[in-house]
Amino acid sequence: MDYGEENMKRALIYASVASMIQQFNMDNIRLLIDSGYQVDVACNMKEGSTISAEKVQAMEMQLQKMGCRVCHIPIPRRITDLRGIIQSFTMTRKLLNSENYDLIHCHSPIGGMVCRLANRCSHSYKNTKMVYTAHGFHFYKGAPRKNWILFYPMERFCGRFTDTLITINKEDYALAKQKFHLKKNGKIEYVPGIGIDLKCITAMPEIKDELRKDLHISKGDIILLSVGELNDNKNHVVVIEAMSHLSSNIHYVICGQGPNKDKLEVLAENLKLKRQLHLLGYCDNVPSIVKSCDLFVFPSKREGLSVALMEAMACGKAVACSKIRGNTDLIDEKGGALFDPENSDSCMRAIKDLLNRDLTEMGKYNRKKVEGFSREKVEDCMRKIYCE
């Protein structure tokens, strides 16, 4: 395959796993191609992705049709995997030395660290512009101390090898502006998330009757919906515990899969909520399902700026969500209620309060507010960053 002429500008999009390319970077790749760049993509194509192997393969074929070369680099998921980090560092440095990129845009804490350190040790360091997007620092107000010990020094040190640091929520932006020092003339930018496709979400049909029939939920019952992996961070436990103090006609539906499936089912059974918990697994029609619920609930312990939450707002839903960084950028009392993610009583009160309010008007407010986080807004920001 012809990967472009020799005199073309060259860019590399670098992420930890394939799902970060598919979910967060396809628009960035198109922007770079439209700006005259030959684009390569590097990530772990074999492990760690939150999308299926079939979707990873389809994404790779799509990238190749766009003229992109895809490189597999086995970036580890754990910062304590020193052998994996050294291996990925060595492979990345070899790639950078052979390709001499004009621009690199890297993502994720470990992937961002490996890429920036490898670039610092490459032959083309002085001629390469390094962009790094932090999709939510692992250190934040209320984060575990170990996160500050492990990730804060790493991010601050790697900032010295960064031309542009992109943050996607206001707390991270303020912290980076105060604490980080970038390369000479480097900039810290705020970009409102990754951009959501409002037109596509609006066009998705509602499937309320079909959903209720499939899940055996009566017409008068209330559907709470959440979207996210079944893991500790997404914190579905707190909602299930809260439901034990709410009406028996309330159902909790979750779109997502993950290691905590059995744990959640056992908890629901112990609390006599088995018939009210519905785990749908992976869904490819999430907006349609969101449009068919009564209230969106988002109990995460840590987020950067959640796509799932923004999509729920775009679907015109009121939201009960955890009072954490990122969520507070999106939800206020006009569009929902915030609760303590460690306190099931706080969660219960938030849900109960919202079910006594005008959910339709709150949903309209959220639909209007999320326009500031649209794909068009984010593309404008990224176009300016790449041009600079």
DSSP string, 69-92: EEEE----S-TT-HHHHHHHHHHH
3-state DSSP call for residue 297? Answer: strand
**What average pLDDT score do residues 239-263 get?**
96
Q: Which CA distances in Å does 285 have to 206, 227, 291?
A: 10, 11, 10
Rg (Cα) of the chain, in Å, rounded? 22
Residue 206 burial (CB count, 10 A) = 15
pTM score of the predicted model? 0.87
**What average pLDDT score do residues 310-315 get?**
97
Residue 23 pLDDT: 87
Q: Could you tell me which residue, 230 or 55, shows the higher pLDDT?
A: 230
Query: Could you tell me the two tokens for 321?
Result: 């969500």
Choose among 195, 193, 191, 133: nearest CA to 164. Answer: 133
Q: Is the pLDDT of residue 51 over 90?
A: no
Single-letter code of the amino acid located at 329: D
**How many helical (H) and strand (E) elements, i.e. helices and strands, does the chain have?**
17, 13
pLDDT band at 2 (very low <50, low <70, confident <90, very high): very low
pLDDT band at 5 (very low <50, low <70, confident <90, very high): low
Query: Could you tell me the two tokens for 30?
Result: 């198109």
The residue behind tokens 């934040």 is 140
Cα 283 to chain center, whole Å? 16
Which burial class, exposed, middle or buried, applies to 222 when counting CB atoms under 10 A from its CB (0-12, 13-18, 19+)? middle
| Pairing relationship of beta strands 295-298 and 222-227 according to DSSP bridges | parallel
Q: Is the pLDDT of residue 362 over 90?
A: yes
Quote the CA–CA distance of 159 and 31 in Å, as a whole number.
Answer: 24
Which residues have a Cβ under 8 Å from the Cβ of 266 and sit 6 or more positions away?
none
The residue behind tokens 């990873």 is 56
pLDDT band at 52 (very low <50, low <70, confident <90, very high): confident
Residue 256 pLDDT: 93
Q: Could you tell me which residue, 84 or 3, shows the higher pLDDT?
A: 84
Which burial class, exposed, middle or buried, applies to 6 when counting CB atoms under 10 A from its CB (0-12, 13-18, 19+)? exposed
Quote the CA–CA distance of 312 and 45 in Å, as a whole number.
Answer: 29
pLDDT band at 48 (very low <50, low <70, confident <90, very high): confident
Quote the CA–CA distance of 172 and 133 in Å, as a whole number.
Answer: 11
**What average pLDDT score do residues 33-40 get?**
95
Which residues have a Cβ under 8 Å from the Cβ of 320 and sit 6 or more positions away?
224, 295, 296, 297, 298, 336, 337, 338, 339, 347, 350, 351, 354
Single-letter code of the amino acid located at 236: H
Quote the CA–CA distance of 29 and 170 in Å, as a whole number.
Answer: 25
